[in-house]
Structure 1
């Protein structure tokens, strides 16, 4: 490496130190991806972007996180595996989500200011949330457009966050149960309504077809009921056509 190229690489560092800047803040982390790299594209719309449903989705995720924290608290420990700080940081993070795109990328300092917690506390909380599957996190970088002598060609930018993508099986099932509760209730209600309408239609139908309508999966029994219904229909028809005299007519003949 030539002296000129070395000078290009360290010149900006010398200038930064002389101006009192911290070089570490400008050096990208190794486990980072460019913001346009597909591995950094973790944002997904929340509840299809529907605000009311997305707010419900957010509330249920917080509910599941609190339940998880209580259920997995080890005996003798003051807090569960997430802890109150992580639960609060999760709520704060969810407050930054754009429901339409799923975008959530506040800077750590922004999260700290909103949560009113120290930086180390927030960083630790985010790691716990990621460890237990409640969030995913990707460190990202961006091209600076600087010349080599002016500084690094990349800089660290805020992390990208996604939610509920790595939940443990039982936690995912519980979350799905809570989120899908309203939809499932509507489906059950619609099914009950359809069944009631079918029963009403069957009762209003000719009795000669009652068995076929009520027991479509049991042809033998349905046929027997149809024949029985047809028999009663015949009796009713005979009465209407006066094959069997009415009671008052019988009395007149006597």
Structure 2
């Protein structure tokens, strides 16, 4: 056992012994159905931490405007999916992947001590370098399953508040996909700027037991399209929003409201403080009037 593993195990035994001395019994790590999950890093308390509630209302909060925003988002995702199919045809992806795998295997054989023709390893490396960007970009393309998962996710939104925290299993069931496929689709949707989320945790009710006191719960989803989408994708999305709002007689906003996050506000606050310090400081060469 490694030193880190030994230290962790020793700590667990000490906590267990202390709990028994205090007259507490160890409770179950998981519920009978196995649904309790250990909280992950950067998980916020779903009940008490404002960061676990990142949502804001959609449009004016009405169903009509909410549907306009939702339809614009889905149509933009579908457009991006079709563009990806044209730019990265599945047949080309498969051919490139077969070439990449065959060349990688050949290079590994040479690296392991096989006899290589003069210059062949260098040629293989150049060919791999040519194929790699194409395969990397193709892996990030918007897929049909991503659109299906986006539709399923948005079925659960409350337009009046923006509250959106369905479980992964709920999303997968509504999209009729495997749970792992739903997770991959959510990650690609996030990479393209369609969704964002924060992790949340809740109390387990194990107070007084030597057992986990918190467990992971569903993510809270929200939208920062202006900041997360590429300029081109955001323009297409926003054009659709404006057109749909006008169609239902709603006055579209001049631009999408910007949500100030802790990450975006921090540098601004620091910059303003720096400017304030400069204004308060005395002139570097004495009184300017003398």
User: TM over 0.5, yes or no?
Assistant: yes
Q: 1:180 to 1:3 in 2, by over 3 A?
A: closer
Matched, 1:48 2:60: yes
Structure 1 residue 142 displacement after superposition: 1.4
Q: Specify the structure having the higher radius of gyration (Cα).
A: 1
Q: TM-score, normalised by structure 2?
A: 0.55
Are residues 21 and 12 of structure 1, via their aligned partners in 2, closer, same or farther at CA, if it must alter by over 3 Å?
A: farther
Number of residue pairs the alignment of both structures matches: 185
- Alignment correspondent of 1:77: 90
- CA distance in 1 between counterparts of 2:167 and 2:78 reads 25
Q: Which residue number corresponds to residue 86 of structure 1?
A: 146
Query: What residue number does 1:32 align with?
Result: 43
Contact 2:146/2:188 (CA < 8 Å) preserved in 1? yes
Aligned counterparts of 1:184 and 1:3: Cα–Cα separation in 2: 65
SS of 1:48's partner is coil
RMSD: 3.2
Residue of structure 2 in register with 1:208 after alignment: none
Calculate the TM-score normalised by the size of structure 1: 0.62
1:26 and 1:152 in contact (8 A); partners too:
no
Q: Please give the per-residue CA displacement for 1:52-107, whole angstroms capped at 9, x wherever unaligned.
A: 12112111110111112222443333688121111100001111000000111111
2:237 is equivalent to residue 180 of structure 1? no
Q: Cα–Cα, structure 1 residues 71 and 123, in superposed 2: closer, same or farther, change >3 Å? A: same
CA deviation string 1:224-249 (max 9, x = no partner): xxxxxxxxxxxxxxxxxxxxxxxxxx
For residues 109-133 of structure 1, give each alpha carbon's deviation from its aligned partner in whole angstroms, at most 9, with x where no partner exists: 1112212211111111111111111
| 1:11 CA drift (Å) | 6.0
**1:1-254 pair list within 5 angstroms:** 5-7=15-17, 8=19, 12=26, 15-16=28-29, 22=34, 25-35=36-46, 36-73=48-85, 74-77=87-90, 81-147=141-207, 149-165=209-225, 166-182=228-244
Q: Aligned partners of 2:12, 2:73: CA distance in 1, in Å?
A: 56
Question: For residues 163 and 115 of structure 1, do their structure 2 counterparts lie closer, same or farther at Cα, with a shift above 3 Å needed?
Answer: same
Q: How many angstroms apart in 2 are the aligned matches of 1:117 and 1:2?
A: 39
Tell me, what secondary structure is at the counterpart of 1:57?
helix
Q: After the TM superposition, which of the residue ranges 72-81 and 32-41 deviates more from structure 2?
A: 72-81
2:204, 2:29 → 1: CA distance?
Answer: 16
In structure 2, C-alpha distance between the alignment counterparts of 1:58 and 1:86, rounded to whole Å: 15
CA 1:176 to 1:163, structure 2 compared with 1: closer, same or farther past 3 Å?
A: same
Q: Secondary structure at the match of 1:12?
A: coil
What CA distance in whole angstroms lies between the structure 2 residues aligned with 1:64 and 1:177? 10
Give 3-state SS (helix, strand or coil) of 2:60's partner. helix
